[in-house]
Chain A
Amino acid sequence: MNLTVNGVAHEVSGSELAPLLDVLREELGSMGAKAGCHQGGCGSCTVLVDGEPRRSCLLPAGYADGTQITTVEGLGAPEDLMPIQQAFVHYYAAQCGFCTSGMMLAAQAYLDRGGTDDPEAIQHALAGHVCRCTGYSKIIDAVAATARGDSFDLTTTAVGKHTTMANGGPE
Protein backbone atom coordinates (compact mmCIF):
# COMPACT_ATOMS: atom_id res chain seq x y z
CA MET A 1 0.00 0.00 0.00
CA ASN A 2 1.16 3.50 -0.76
CA LEU A 3 0.20 6.06 1.88
CA THR A 4 1.22 9.68 1.53
CA VAL A 5 1.17 11.25 4.98
CA ASN A 6 1.60 15.03 5.15
CA GLY A 7 3.22 14.97 1.74
CA VAL A 8 5.68 12.14 2.46
CA ALA A 9 5.09 8.89 0.58
CA HIS A 10 5.34 5.61 2.49
CA GLU A 11 5.27 2.05 1.24
CA VAL A 12 3.40 0.02 3.85
CA SER A 13 2.98 -3.74 4.07
CA GLY A 14 0.51 -5.54 6.28
CA SER A 15 -3.20 -6.16 6.21
CA GLU A 16 -5.38 -3.90 4.09
CA LEU A 17 -7.98 -4.34 6.82
CA ALA A 18 -5.79 -2.92 9.61
CA PRO A 19 -7.16 0.40 10.87
CA LEU A 20 -5.32 3.32 9.29
CA LEU A 21 -4.81 4.62 12.85
CA ASP A 22 -2.67 1.62 13.77
CA VAL A 23 -0.60 1.96 10.61
CA LEU A 24 -0.02 5.67 11.28
CA ARG A 25 0.92 5.28 14.92
CA GLU A 26 2.57 1.87 15.10
CA GLU A 27 4.19 1.46 11.70
CA LEU A 28 4.90 5.06 10.69
CA GLY A 29 5.38 6.57 14.15
CA SER A 30 2.99 9.40 13.33
CA MET A 31 1.42 10.23 16.68
CA GLY A 32 -0.82 13.19 15.81
CA ALA A 33 -3.91 11.02 15.37
CA LYS A 34 -4.89 10.01 18.90
CA ALA A 35 -6.10 6.53 19.81
CA GLY A 36 -9.09 7.18 22.04
CA CYS A 37 -11.94 4.70 21.87
CA HIS A 38 -10.69 2.76 18.83
CA GLN A 39 -14.30 2.26 17.71
CA GLY A 40 -15.38 5.50 16.07
CA GLY A 41 -17.04 7.02 19.08
CA CYS A 42 -14.74 9.84 20.16
CA GLY A 43 -13.31 11.52 17.05
CA SER A 44 -9.77 11.92 18.39
CA CYS A 45 -8.23 9.81 15.59
CA THR A 46 -9.78 11.91 12.82
CA VAL A 47 -7.47 12.60 9.88
CA LEU A 48 -8.06 14.09 6.45
CA VAL A 49 -8.07 11.64 3.56
CA ASP A 50 -7.83 13.59 0.31
CA GLY A 51 -9.08 16.55 2.32
CA GLU A 52 -12.14 14.80 3.78
CA PRO A 53 -12.34 14.00 7.50
CA ARG A 54 -12.30 10.28 8.31
CA ARG A 55 -12.10 8.21 11.50
CA SER A 56 -8.72 6.55 11.08
CA CYS A 57 -9.65 3.86 13.64
CA LEU A 58 -12.50 2.73 11.37
CA LEU A 59 -10.88 3.17 7.99
CA PRO A 60 -9.18 0.07 6.61
CA ALA A 61 -5.68 1.08 5.54
CA GLY A 62 -6.31 -0.53 2.16
CA TYR A 63 -8.99 2.06 1.47
CA ALA A 64 -6.42 4.81 2.00
CA ASP A 65 -4.05 3.29 -0.56
CA GLY A 66 -2.97 6.00 -2.99
CA THR A 67 -4.55 8.85 -1.04
CA GLN A 68 -3.13 11.98 0.55
CA ILE A 69 -3.47 11.77 4.34
CA THR A 70 -3.21 14.85 6.54
CA THR A 71 -2.66 14.52 10.27
CA VAL A 72 -2.43 17.42 12.69
CA GLU A 73 1.31 17.60 11.99
CA GLY A 74 0.33 18.50 8.42
CA LEU A 75 -1.31 21.74 9.55
CA GLY A 76 1.06 24.60 10.33
CA ALA A 77 4.39 24.10 12.09
CA PRO A 78 4.72 25.76 15.55
CA GLU A 79 6.44 28.82 14.08
CA ASP A 80 3.94 29.08 11.23
CA LEU A 81 0.52 28.15 12.63
CA MET A 82 -2.51 28.04 10.37
CA PRO A 83 -5.45 30.31 11.31
CA ILE A 84 -7.42 27.43 12.89
CA GLN A 85 -4.43 26.63 15.11
CA GLN A 86 -3.94 30.29 16.02
CA ALA A 87 -7.62 30.49 16.91
CA PHE A 88 -7.36 27.41 19.16
CA VAL A 89 -4.46 29.10 20.98
CA HIS A 90 -6.20 32.46 21.22
CA TYR A 91 -9.49 31.05 22.47
CA TYR A 92 -7.82 28.53 24.78
CA ALA A 93 -9.79 25.88 22.87
CA ALA A 94 -7.42 23.07 23.83
CA GLN A 95 -7.44 22.05 27.47
CA CYS A 96 -6.01 18.56 27.90
CA GLY A 97 -5.47 18.49 24.13
CA PHE A 98 -6.52 14.90 23.46
CA CYS A 99 -9.43 15.79 21.18
CA THR A 100 -7.67 18.79 19.64
CA SER A 101 -6.02 17.22 16.61
CA GLY A 102 -9.29 15.60 15.53
CA MET A 103 -11.24 18.75 16.30
CA MET A 104 -8.89 20.99 14.33
CA LEU A 105 -8.76 18.69 11.32
CA ALA A 106 -12.55 18.33 11.19
CA ALA A 107 -12.84 22.10 11.65
CA GLN A 108 -10.32 22.74 8.85
CA ALA A 109 -12.33 20.46 6.55
CA TYR A 110 -15.47 22.37 7.54
CA LEU A 111 -13.77 25.68 6.70
CA ASP A 112 -12.46 24.26 3.42
CA ARG A 113 -16.07 23.36 2.52
CA GLY A 114 -16.94 27.03 2.93
CA GLY A 115 -18.30 26.68 6.46
CA THR A 116 -19.53 29.87 8.12
CA ASP A 117 -19.36 31.16 11.70
CA ASP A 118 -22.88 29.85 12.44
CA PRO A 119 -22.48 28.03 15.78
CA GLU A 120 -25.15 25.46 14.90
CA ALA A 121 -23.45 24.59 11.63
CA ILE A 122 -20.13 24.26 13.47
CA GLN A 123 -21.72 22.01 16.09
CA HIS A 124 -23.16 19.86 13.32
CA ALA A 125 -19.76 19.58 11.62
CA LEU A 126 -18.04 18.60 14.88
CA ALA A 127 -20.89 16.46 16.24
CA GLY A 128 -18.85 13.27 16.29
CA HIS A 129 -16.02 14.78 18.33
CA VAL A 130 -16.04 14.39 22.09
CA CYS A 131 -14.16 16.83 24.36
CA ARG A 132 -14.15 15.34 27.84
CA CYS A 133 -12.86 18.61 29.27
CA THR A 134 -16.19 19.90 27.87
CA GLY A 135 -14.53 22.94 26.35
CA TYR A 136 -17.03 23.04 23.53
CA SER A 137 -17.95 26.73 23.62
CA LYS A 138 -14.34 27.81 23.22
CA ILE A 139 -13.82 25.32 20.41
CA ILE A 140 -16.88 26.66 18.61
CA ASP A 141 -15.70 30.24 19.23
CA ALA A 142 -12.32 29.39 17.71
CA VAL A 143 -13.83 27.85 14.59
CA ALA A 144 -16.31 30.70 14.19
CA ALA A 145 -13.54 33.30 14.48
CA THR A 146 -11.49 31.48 11.87
CA ALA A 147 -14.50 31.33 9.55
CA ARG A 148 -14.91 35.10 9.93
CA GLY A 149 -11.26 35.62 9.00
CA ASP A 150 -10.36 37.19 12.34
CA SER A 151 -6.67 37.71 13.01
CA PHE A 152 -5.22 36.66 16.32
CA ASP A 153 -2.69 38.23 18.63
CA LEU A 154 -1.13 35.13 20.14
CA THR A 155 0.44 37.07 22.98
CA THR A 156 -3.00 37.37 24.56
CA THR A 157 -5.90 34.99 24.78
CA ALA A 158 -9.62 35.50 24.75
CA VAL A 159 -10.17 33.47 27.90
CA GLY A 160 -13.45 34.53 29.43
CA LYS A 161 -14.70 36.35 26.35
CA HIS A 162 -17.38 34.19 24.82
CA THR A 163 -18.16 35.66 21.46
CA THR A 164 -20.93 33.19 20.69
CA MET A 165 -22.64 33.42 24.09
CA ALA A 166 -24.37 36.70 23.44
CA ASN A 167 -27.05 35.97 26.00
CA GLY A 168 -25.29 36.11 29.27
CA GLY A 169 -21.96 34.45 28.67
CA PRO A 170 -19.23 35.42 31.17
CA GLU A 171 -17.13 38.45 30.30
Chain B
Amino acid sequence: MAVASVASDAATEILMPGSEDEAIAAFGDGTEVVVVGGGTIVVPDMTYRRLRPAKALMLGNAGLSGIETDGSRVTIGAMTPVQALVDLKAPLGPCASNVADLEIRSQGTVGGNLCAGEGYEAPRGDLQGAFLALGATARSAAEGDVTEEPLEDFLAKRRERLLLSVSFDEPAAGAFAGLDRPHTHDYTALAVSGARAHDGTLRLAATGAGSWGARLPSAEAAAGDPAAAGEAALQDVTPHDDALASAWYRTKVLPVLVRRVLAELKESA
Protein backbone atom coordinates (compact mmCIF):
# COMPACT_ATOMS: atom_id res chain seq x y z
CA MET B 1 0.00 0.00 0.00
CA ALA B 2 3.02 2.20 -0.40
CA VAL B 3 2.19 5.76 -1.20
CA ALA B 4 4.86 7.13 -3.47
CA SER B 5 7.04 9.74 -1.89
CA VAL B 6 6.53 13.31 -3.00
CA ALA B 7 10.30 13.55 -2.86
CA SER B 8 10.70 11.31 -5.86
CA ASP B 9 8.71 13.40 -8.30
CA ALA B 10 9.13 16.80 -6.76
CA ALA B 11 8.32 19.40 -9.36
CA THR B 12 7.61 21.84 -6.60
CA GLU B 13 10.01 24.70 -6.09
CA ILE B 14 10.76 25.03 -2.37
CA LEU B 15 11.19 28.45 -0.84
CA MET B 16 12.53 28.54 2.75
CA PRO B 17 12.94 32.17 3.84
CA GLY B 18 15.03 32.91 6.94
CA SER B 19 13.22 36.06 8.04
CA GLU B 20 9.90 37.87 7.79
CA ASP B 21 11.26 40.22 5.12
CA GLU B 22 12.49 37.27 3.06
CA ALA B 23 9.11 35.58 3.49
CA ILE B 24 7.28 38.67 2.22
CA ALA B 25 9.62 38.89 -0.76
CA ALA B 26 9.30 35.17 -1.53
CA PHE B 27 5.50 35.33 -1.34
CA GLY B 28 5.39 38.18 -3.84
CA ASP B 29 1.85 38.55 -5.14
CA GLY B 30 1.10 34.98 -4.10
CA THR B 31 0.65 33.65 -7.61
CA GLU B 32 1.21 29.86 -7.70
CA VAL B 33 2.53 29.95 -4.11
CA VAL B 34 1.23 27.47 -1.56
CA VAL B 35 2.11 28.60 1.94
CA VAL B 36 3.26 25.84 4.30
CA GLY B 37 2.92 26.54 8.00
CA GLY B 38 3.40 23.37 10.03
CA GLY B 39 2.57 21.18 7.04
CA THR B 40 -0.34 19.29 8.61
CA ILE B 41 -2.68 20.19 5.74
CA VAL B 42 -0.35 20.71 2.78
CA VAL B 43 1.81 17.59 3.26
CA PRO B 44 -1.02 15.02 3.16
CA ASP B 45 -2.71 16.96 0.35
CA MET B 46 0.50 16.51 -1.65
CA THR B 47 0.89 12.87 -0.59
CA TYR B 48 -2.57 12.12 -1.96
CA ARG B 49 -2.03 14.28 -5.03
CA ARG B 50 -4.84 16.66 -4.20
CA LEU B 51 -2.29 19.42 -4.41
CA ARG B 52 0.71 19.84 -6.66
CA PRO B 53 1.97 23.35 -6.05
CA ALA B 54 4.37 25.07 -8.42
CA LYS B 55 5.98 26.79 -5.44
CA ALA B 56 5.82 25.98 -1.74
CA LEU B 57 6.71 28.69 0.73
CA MET B 58 7.88 26.93 3.91
CA LEU B 59 7.79 29.38 6.79
CA GLY B 60 9.49 27.25 9.48
CA ASN B 61 12.64 29.36 9.62
CA ALA B 62 11.03 32.75 8.96
CA GLY B 63 10.90 33.76 12.62
CA LEU B 64 7.12 34.20 12.68
CA SER B 65 6.51 32.14 15.82
CA GLY B 66 5.83 33.46 19.30
CA ILE B 67 3.35 35.19 21.57
CA GLU B 68 4.16 38.75 22.63
CA THR B 69 2.29 40.82 25.17
CA ASP B 70 2.55 44.61 25.23
CA GLY B 71 0.34 45.90 28.02
CA SER B 72 -3.06 44.43 27.25
CA ARG B 73 -2.23 43.89 23.56
CA VAL B 74 -1.37 40.32 22.59
CA THR B 75 0.33 39.52 19.27
CA ILE B 76 0.61 35.95 18.05
CA GLY B 77 2.95 35.12 15.18
CA ALA B 78 1.43 33.20 12.29
CA MET B 79 3.83 30.27 12.81
CA THR B 80 3.03 29.86 16.50
CA PRO B 81 1.92 26.26 17.13
CA VAL B 82 -1.73 25.86 18.12
CA GLN B 83 -0.53 24.02 21.23
CA ALA B 84 1.10 27.24 22.48
CA LEU B 85 -2.40 28.72 22.96
CA VAL B 86 -4.01 26.03 25.07
CA ASP B 87 -3.22 27.68 28.41
CA LEU B 88 -4.48 31.11 27.35
CA LYS B 89 -7.76 32.42 28.75
CA ALA B 90 -11.09 31.74 27.07
CA PRO B 91 -12.14 31.80 24.37
CA LEU B 92 -8.72 31.13 22.84
CA GLY B 93 -7.35 28.51 25.28
CA PRO B 94 -10.31 26.12 25.29
CA CYS B 95 -10.81 26.67 21.56
CA ALA B 96 -7.18 25.68 20.88
CA SER B 97 -7.49 22.65 23.19
CA ASN B 98 -10.36 21.50 20.98
CA VAL B 99 -8.11 21.29 17.89
CA ALA B 100 -6.91 17.81 16.86
CA ASP B 101 -4.48 15.98 19.15
CA LEU B 102 -1.26 16.91 20.92
CA GLU B 103 1.03 15.99 18.04
CA ILE B 104 -0.98 17.88 15.44
CA ARG B 105 -1.57 20.91 17.69
CA SER B 106 2.18 21.02 18.30
CA GLN B 107 2.91 21.09 14.57
CA GLY B 108 -0.09 22.90 13.12
CA THR B 109 0.15 26.67 13.28
CA VAL B 110 -2.19 29.53 14.11
CA GLY B 111 -1.68 30.97 10.63
CA GLY B 112 -2.32 27.66 8.92
CA ASN B 113 -5.47 27.11 10.95
CA LEU B 114 -6.82 30.60 10.20
CA CYS B 115 -5.94 30.52 6.51
CA ALA B 116 -6.82 26.91 5.68
CA GLY B 117 -9.00 26.43 2.67
CA GLU B 118 -12.33 24.75 3.12
CA GLY B 119 -11.92 21.05 3.83
CA TYR B 120 -13.12 18.22 1.65
CA GLU B 121 -15.71 16.99 4.10
CA ALA B 122 -15.98 19.78 6.66
CA PRO B 123 -14.98 23.38 7.21
CA ARG B 124 -11.53 24.01 8.65
CA GLY B 125 -10.33 26.98 10.64
CA ASP B 126 -11.20 25.94 14.20
CA LEU B 127 -9.60 29.08 15.66
CA GLN B 128 -11.38 31.59 13.44
CA GLY B 129 -14.38 32.03 15.74
CA ALA B 130 -12.25 32.64 18.84
CA PHE B 131 -10.13 35.29 17.16
CA LEU B 132 -13.22 36.96 15.66
CA ALA B 133 -14.81 37.11 19.11
CA LEU B 134 -11.65 38.81 20.37
CA GLY B 135 -11.95 41.45 17.65
CA ALA B 136 -8.53 40.43 16.38
CA THR B 137 -6.64 42.21 13.65
CA ALA B 138 -4.52 40.46 11.04
CA ARG B 139 -1.16 41.73 9.81
CA SER B 140 -0.49 40.44 6.34
CA ALA B 141 1.55 41.07 3.22
CA ALA B 142 1.17 40.90 -0.54
CA GLU B 143 3.35 42.45 -3.22
CA GLY B 144 5.62 43.78 -0.50
CA ASP B 145 2.81 45.79 1.07
CA VAL B 146 2.18 45.05 4.76
CA THR B 147 -1.20 46.01 6.18
CA GLU B 148 -3.11 45.40 9.39
CA GLU B 149 -6.89 45.04 9.18
CA PRO B 150 -9.78 43.42 11.01
CA LEU B 151 -9.52 39.63 10.83
CA GLU B 152 -12.99 39.47 9.24
CA ASP B 153 -11.75 41.48 6.27
CA PHE B 154 -8.59 39.41 6.01
CA LEU B 155 -10.38 36.04 6.08
CA ALA B 156 -12.29 36.87 2.91
CA LYS B 157 -9.00 37.24 1.01
CA ARG B 158 -6.83 34.87 3.01
CA ARG B 159 -5.62 33.03 -0.11
CA GLU B 160 -4.27 36.24 -1.63
CA ARG B 161 -2.17 37.50 1.27
CA LEU B 162 0.56 36.13 3.54
CA LEU B 163 -0.55 36.23 7.18
CA LEU B 164 2.24 37.41 9.49
CA SER B 165 0.52 37.78 12.86
CA VAL B 166 -2.78 38.33 14.63
CA SER B 167 -3.30 40.76 17.51
CA PHE B 168 -6.04 41.45 20.00
CA ASP B 169 -6.67 43.22 23.31
CA GLU B 170 -7.01 40.93 26.31
CA PRO B 171 -10.75 40.75 26.97
CA ALA B 172 -12.36 41.43 30.34
CA ALA B 173 -14.12 38.09 30.01
CA GLY B 174 -14.20 35.27 27.52
CA ALA B 175 -16.10 32.03 26.94
CA PHE B 176 -16.12 29.07 24.57
CA ALA B 177 -18.64 26.31 23.96
CA GLY B 178 -18.30 23.64 21.31
CA LEU B 179 -19.79 20.33 20.32
CA ASP B 180 -17.84 17.38 21.67
CA ARG B 181 -15.89 15.79 18.88
CA PRO B 182 -16.61 12.12 18.16
CA HIS B 183 -12.90 11.74 17.53
CA THR B 184 -9.93 13.94 18.29
CA HIS B 185 -9.10 14.21 14.59
CA ASP B 186 -12.41 15.75 13.61
CA TYR B 187 -12.51 19.38 12.70
CA THR B 188 -14.76 21.58 14.81
CA ALA B 189 -18.31 20.69 13.84
CA LEU B 190 -19.74 23.73 15.60
CA ALA B 191 -18.44 26.05 18.30
CA VAL B 192 -19.28 29.50 19.63
CA SER B 193 -16.77 31.91 21.14
CA GLY B 194 -17.60 35.04 23.08
CA ALA B 195 -15.60 37.88 24.60
CA ARG B 196 -16.43 41.08 26.43
CA ALA B 197 -13.92 43.86 25.92
CA HIS B 198 -12.93 46.23 28.73
CA ASP B 199 -15.11 48.94 27.13
CA GLY B 200 -18.10 46.59 27.45
CA THR B 201 -18.29 45.59 23.77
CA LEU B 202 -19.57 42.03 23.44
CA ARG B 203 -18.56 39.93 20.47
CA LEU B 204 -19.85 36.50 19.56
CA ALA B 205 -18.64 34.32 16.70
CA ALA B 206 -19.22 30.82 15.41
CA THR B 207 -16.94 28.25 13.82
CA GLY B 208 -18.50 25.45 11.78
CA ALA B 209 -21.66 27.30 10.76
CA GLY B 210 -20.51 28.17 7.27
CA SER B 211 -17.46 28.20 5.08
CA TRP B 212 -15.45 30.02 7.67
CA GLY B 213 -15.83 31.68 11.05
CA ALA B 214 -18.55 34.28 11.31
CA ARG B 215 -19.51 37.01 13.76
CA LEU B 216 -23.02 36.75 15.16
CA PRO B 217 -24.17 40.41 15.23
CA SER B 218 -27.89 39.63 15.70
CA ALA B 219 -27.06 37.46 18.71
CA GLU B 220 -24.78 40.17 20.08
CA ALA B 221 -27.62 42.72 19.79
CA ALA B 222 -29.98 40.44 21.71
CA ALA B 223 -27.40 39.35 24.31
CA GLY B 224 -29.47 40.67 27.22
CA ASP B 225 -31.93 37.82 26.63
CA PRO B 226 -29.87 34.66 26.08
CA ALA B 227 -32.78 32.63 24.69
CA ALA B 228 -33.57 35.34 22.14
CA ALA B 229 -29.87 35.74 21.37
CA GLY B 230 -29.58 32.03 20.65
CA GLU B 231 -32.43 32.14 18.16
CA ALA B 232 -31.14 35.41 16.67
CA ALA B 233 -27.82 33.74 15.88
CA LEU B 234 -29.61 31.76 13.18
CA GLN B 235 -30.15 34.99 11.26
CA ASP B 236 -26.39 35.50 11.05
CA VAL B 237 -25.28 32.20 9.53
CA THR B 238 -26.56 29.53 7.19
CA PRO B 239 -25.77 26.12 8.71
CA HIS B 240 -24.80 23.47 6.18
CA ASP B 241 -24.73 19.69 5.82
CA ASP B 242 -21.38 17.96 5.85
CA ALA B 243 -19.72 14.80 7.12
CA LEU B 244 -19.55 16.08 10.69
CA ALA B 245 -23.12 17.25 11.21
CA SER B 246 -26.30 18.04 9.34
CA ALA B 247 -27.59 21.57 8.81
CA TRP B 248 -30.63 20.58 10.89
CA TYR B 249 -28.45 19.54 13.82
CA ARG B 250 -26.37 22.69 13.62
CA THR B 251 -29.55 24.76 13.54
CA LYS B 252 -30.75 23.08 16.72
CA VAL B 253 -27.44 23.31 18.57
CA LEU B 254 -26.22 26.80 17.64
CA PRO B 255 -28.75 28.54 19.96
CA VAL B 256 -27.71 26.23 22.80
CA LEU B 257 -24.03 27.06 22.38
CA VAL B 258 -24.82 30.79 22.23
CA ARG B 259 -26.76 30.49 25.50
CA ARG B 260 -23.90 28.59 27.15
CA VAL B 261 -21.37 31.21 26.12
CA LEU B 262 -23.57 34.05 27.37
CA ALA B 263 -24.09 32.24 30.68
CA GLU B 264 -20.34 31.71 31.07
CA LEU B 265 -19.67 35.37 30.26
CA LYS B 266 -22.26 36.44 32.82
CA GLU B 267 -20.66 34.24 35.49
CA SER B 268 -17.23 35.71 34.90
CA ALA B 269 -18.58 39.29 34.96
Are B101 and A127 in contact, CB atoms less than 8 angstroms apart? yes
A128–B103 alpha-carbon span in the complex (Å):
8
Closest to B101 in A: A128
Residues in A neighbouring B7, C-beta threshold 8 A: 14-15, 18, 22-23, 26-27, 61
Considering residues A23, A58, A106, which has the most beta carbons from chain B within 10 angstroms of its beta carbon?
A: A58
Given the contacts A17-B14, A18-B10, A39 and B47 also touching, CB distance less than 8 Å: yes
Residues in B neighbouring A15, C-beta threshold 8 A: 6-7, 10, 12, 14
Are B5 and A43 in contact, CB atoms less than 8 angstroms apart? no
A106–B104 alpha-carbon span in the complex (Å):
12
A21–B267 alpha-carbon span in the complex (Å):
47
Are A59 and B5 in contact, CB atoms less than 8 angstroms apart? no
Given the contacts A17-B14, A35-B3, A38-B3, A128 and B36 also touching, CB distance less than 8 Å: no
Are B104 and A63 in contact, CB atoms less than 8 angstroms apart? no
In the assembled complex, B261 has its CB within 8 A of some CB on chain A? no
Are B104 and A17 in contact, CB atoms less than 8 angstroms apart? no
Residues in A neighbouring B46, C-beta threshold 8 A: 17
Interface size on B, residues (CB 8 A): 33
Residues in A neighbouring B2, C-beta threshold 8 A: 35
B42 → A minimal CB distance (Å): 8
Are A62 and B107 in contact, CB atoms less than 8 angstroms apart? no
B50 → A minimal CB distance (Å): 10
In the assembled complex, B18 has its CB within 8 A of some CB on chain A? no
A125 → B minimal CB distance (Å): 6
In the assembled complex, A53 has its CB within 8 A of some CB on chain B? yes
Interface readout for A9-36 with B: 1 if CB under 8 Å, 0 if not? Answer: 0000011111100110011000000010
In the assembled complex, B197 has its CB within 8 A of some CB on chain A? no
In the assembled complex, B185 has its CB within 8 A of some CB on chain A? yes
A122 → B minimal CB distance (Å): 12
In the assembled complex, A138 has its CB within 8 A of some CB on chain B? no
Given the contacts A17-B12, A23-B7, A60-B39, A38 and B103 also touching, CB distance less than 8 Å: no
Are A59 and B39 in contact, CB atoms less than 8 angstroms apart? yes
Are B185 and A40 in contact, CB atoms less than 8 angstroms apart? yes
In the assembled complex, A90 has its CB within 8 A of some CB on chain B? no
B3, B47, B48, B60: the one contacting A63 at CB < 8 Å is B60
In the assembled complex, A46 has its CB within 8 A of some CB on chain B? yes
A60–B107 alpha-carbon span in the complex (Å):
10
Are A60 and B3 in contact, CB atoms less than 8 angstroms apart? no
Residues in A neighbouring B47, C-beta threshold 8 A: 19, 38-39, 57
A140 → B minimal CB distance (Å): 15
In the assembled complex, A41 has its CB within 8 A of some CB on chain B? yes
B17 → A minimal CB distance (Å): 12
A100 → B minimal CB distance (Å): 16
A46, A59, A62, A125: the one contacting B14 at CB < 8 Å is A62
Binding site for A on B (CB under 8 A): 1-3, 5-8, 10, 12, 14, 16, 36, 38-40, 42-44, 46-48, 56, 58, 60, 100-104, 106-107, 184-185
Q: What are 27 A-B contacts defined by CB distance under 8 Å? A: A15-B6, A16-B58, A17-B42, A17-B56, A23-B5, A35-B1, A38-B44, A40-B40, A40-B104, A41-B185, A43-B103, A54-B103, A54-B106, A55-B104, A57-B44, A57-B47, A58-B39, A58-B44, A59-B107, A60-B58, A62-B60, A63-B58, A106-B103, A124-B102, A125-B102, A128-B100, A128-B104
Binding site for B on A (CB under 8 A): 14-19, 22-23, 26-27, 35, 38-41, 43, 46, 52-55, 57-63, 106, 124-125, 127-128
